[in-house]
Structure 1
Amino acid sequence: MSEPPRNLDHDLLADRRRMKRRLSLWRGMAVLLALGGLFLLAGPRWMGGGVPGAGHVLRLSVEGTISDDRKLTEAIDAASRDPLVRGMILSIDSPGGSVAGGEGLHASLARFRAEKPLAAVMRGTAASAGYMIAMPAERVFARESTLTGSIGVILQSFDVSELLATLGVQAELLTSGPLKGVPSPFRPLEAQGRDALQRVVADMHAQFIDMVAVGRDLPRDQVAQLADGRVYTGRQALELKLVDAIGAEPEARAWLAASHQIPQTVPVRDLDPRGAAERWLGVSVRAVVKTVISEWLAIDGARAVWQLPR
């Protein structure tokens, strides 16, 4: 006897049902992914107790040594174009850093100020490049005991030629000109090299003075008299018109409300261009290496930094 024929219609129907279930599953996953993407893009702007679309105030905290940071300047530029960013509070606790790093951050903050309100709040220390970056702010607050000012530039080297001679070691330098490789730890700094480097420091110092004169709307000669490298307390800085008022973030929020109609109920969000791993660690290993090697041990890097006596 032959076997009965298989029910092909039943098998096809079952296959179609399985395919339909799979398609439904994939469609559902696609919808969830799309919703998740929208939440990542728009959700953070609506969180924090604010009304959707009401915007927020950014808080940029600059702490420690200031170095050239492309990610940070790009984040500030992006914030200046974000319609939901209504203003920024620049919170500073820094003794300064590289001249180029301070100049780059100053420039990006000036671009932000051209578009939106910017207030600076000086905490424990806002000296040298830490003071420089506050100059674009429309309103600068400091505590009475804040250490600020230190308007100046430092370029330092060291001479180990005598030590090497004692050890019987002689360094040979081949350069394309008498000023190439100046300063060098392997030979004393001669008058020609010292004069050339002093002119470089003087030019950077003049640029710093110009930033302060423009930012504080003060005569350049008046700023030049204050720019001998010394630090000032917040109270002294207020008397010298280097800051606008004594206060902290609450006073900055009150000023934004009174001067720019940004209610104090508008949420504040931290501007942090670091990746998730860096935020978790609290500090970037790359930044540490760069700070130690490039900013502190380099013999040819000009810095605008207030150094504690050793």
Structure 2
Amino acid sequence: MSIESDVIVDRRRLRRKLTFWRVASVLIAIAAVVAVGAYATPWGRALTGASAIQRVNIEGLIRNDQNRVEALERLGKSNAPAVIVHINSPGGTTAGSEQLYDALMRLKAKKPMVVVVDGLCASGGYIAALASDHIIAQQTALVGSIGVLFQYPNFTDLLKTVGVKVEEVKSSPLKAAPNGFEPTSPEARAALDALVKDSYAWFRGLVQTRRGMDNGQLEKVADGRVFTGRQAVDLKLIDQLGDEKAAIAWLVAEKKITPDLPVRDFKLSPRFGDMTFLRTAASVTFDALGLSSIARQVEQTGIVRAADRLGLDGMLALWQPAPSN
């Protein structure tokens, strides 16, 4: 073998060794960053067993979220002495709200739990709140909106104006009805009405059972309106006026929770990209190892988008005020 060939072989061996140690260094650095971040973040402290009341925040539109369900299951298995669930939501899909309600019911079976309404707890948000045996709201908070909605656009007149007709072949008249491209048939409207009424009956039954209402009391609150916290107390939609301090006092008095425990946020979606400290440290680590392209990707994927386009499919348990002119 020539001297030149020996040099090429040695370079290849050196390159393989360098690649191995570079990858090993990256893995070790990431493991160290994750370990430090797990201790430094509220989510990490919750998982490592720090004794504190855990605060769960439910905000915005509610839809199916398996990550949230799994996070609540982890919380149920932790040594947290109690949970305060803050809700500020206009609702969302009926299926997503039911999923969240079921997850909170399982959590309540393992931990003392109280719900605090921060500003709005309507429709699907109120379904979630029903999982708690004690609901607290501020005096001017909005609570209720017990009802179900199936809403869809109809473009029939617009299509006529622009001269467009949608053709379709389907197995039966009610398949994919309504589709928004033709007037809704009486049969399709009747089918949708049956869906809405069935889900509404389920919602009403849940309110009546969980809040201990008779038929007369239920009729007063189940017409789709929202009520202030002050009104909601008298109507049995909530139990008490107040804020998180009132929730802590209730836990101490009724569930024998130790006074003066700290309250810490529990992250429902603890993703790597959501932890600013971990993202920055990982980016610096990659950059120091000469992997600048990966560092840039870490930084870019960690950016929070200004607008989250949330698709809501199916029937809605959602409240929204009429738009002002």
Normalising by structure 2, what TM-score? 0.75
Name 2:321's counterpart in structure 1: 308
Alpha-carbon distance in structure 2 between the residues aligned to 1:110 and 1:283: 34
CA contact (8 A) 2:42 2:265 kept: no
- Among 84, 89, 93, the alignment partner of 1:94 is 89
Give a deviation string over 1:21-58, Cα, whole Å, max 9, x none: xxxxxxxxx9xx79x8599479969969xxx9672211
Alpha-carbon distance in structure 1 between the residues aligned to 2:233 and 2:302: 33
Name 1:259's counterpart in structure 2: 254
Name 1:19's counterpart in structure 2: none
Cα deviation for residue 206 of structure 1 reads 1.0
Cα deviation for residue 228 of structure 1 reads 1.0
Task: Assess, with a 3 A threshold, how the Cα gap between structure 1 residues 216 and 282 changes in structure 2: closer, same or farther.
Answer: farther
SS of residue paired to 1:66: coil
Moved more, 118-127 or 173-182: 173-182
Give a deviation string over 1:66-124, Cα, whole Å, max 9, x none: 11111111111111121x11111110111111111110000000001111111000011
SS of residue paired to 1:115: coil
SS of residue paired to 2:152: coil
Alpha-carbon distance in structure 2 between the residues aligned to 1:283 and 1:244: 40
Task: Assess, with a 3 A threshold, how the Cα gap between structure 1 residues 181 and 45 changes in structure 2: closer, same or farther.
Answer: closer
Identity value in percent: 36
Task: Assess, with a 3 A threshold, how the Cα gap between structure 1 residues 115 and 42 changes in structure 2: closer, same or farther.
Answer: farther
CA contact (8 A) 1:45 1:55 kept: no
Alpha-carbon distance in structure 2 between the residues aligned to 1:246 and 1:88: 18
Q: Is 1:288 the equivalent of 2:308? A: yes
Name 1:187's counterpart in structure 2: 182
Cα deviation for residue 163 of structure 1 reads 1.7
Name 2:66's counterpart in structure 1: 70
Aligned amino acid, residue 288 of structure 1? D
- Among 108, 119, 125, the alignment partner of 1:124 is 119
SS of residue paired to 2:224: coil
Moved more, 154-163 or 144-153: 154-163
Alpha-carbon distance in structure 1 between the residues aligned to 2:221 and 2:227: 10
The number of residues matched between the two structures is 269
Name 1:23's counterpart in structure 2: none
Cα deviation for residue 264 of structure 1 reads 3.5
- Among 248, 273, 277, the alignment partner of 1:277 is 273
Name 2:167's counterpart in structure 1: 172
Aligned amino acid, residue 191 of structure 2? A
Alpha-carbon distance in structure 1 between the residues aligned to 2:274 and 2:210: 33
Alpha-carbon distance in structure 1 between the residues aligned to 2:158 and 2:208: 45
Q: Is 1:146 the equivalent of 2:141? A: yes
Aligned amino acid, residue 306 of structure 1? W
Alpha-carbon distance in structure 1 between the residues aligned to 2:93 and 2:307: 13
CA contact (8 A) 2:117 2:138 kept: yes
SS of residue paired to 1:269: strand
**Which of these two proteins has the greater Rg computed from alpha carbons?**
1
Give a deviation string over 1:257-307, Cα, whole Å, max 9, x none: 111121232122212123142355999659923x1xx21xx5xx2110101
Task: Assess, with a 3 A threshold, how the Cα gap between structure 1 residues 237 and 279 changes in structure 2: closer, same or farther.
Answer: farther
Task: Assess, with a 3 A threshold, how the Cα gap between structure 1 residues 279 and 93 changes in structure 2: closer, same or farther.
Answer: farther
Cα deviation for residue 63 of structure 1 reads 1.0
Task: Assess, with a 3 A threshold, how the Cα gap between structure 1 residues 258 and 46 changes in structure 2: closer, same or farther.
Answer: farther
Name 1:216's counterpart in structure 2: 211
Cα deviation for residue 213 of structure 1 reads 1.6
Give a deviation string over 1:169-208, Cα, whole Å, max 9, x none: 1111221111111111100111111011000001111111
Alpha-carbon distance in structure 1 between the residues aligned to 2:229 and 2:238: 8
Alpha-carbon distance in structure 1 between the residues aligned to 2:183 and 2:37: 62
Task: Assess, with a 3 A threshold, how the Cα gap between structure 1 residues 66 and 178 changes in structure 2: closer, same or farther.
Answer: same
Aligned Cα RMSD in Å? 3.0
CA contact (8 A) 1:161 1:187 kept: yes
Name 1:18's counterpart in structure 2: none
CA contact (8 A) 1:142 1:234 kept: yes
Name 2:224's counterpart in structure 1: 229
Alpha-carbon distance in structure 1 between the residues aligned to 2:55 and 2:302: 17
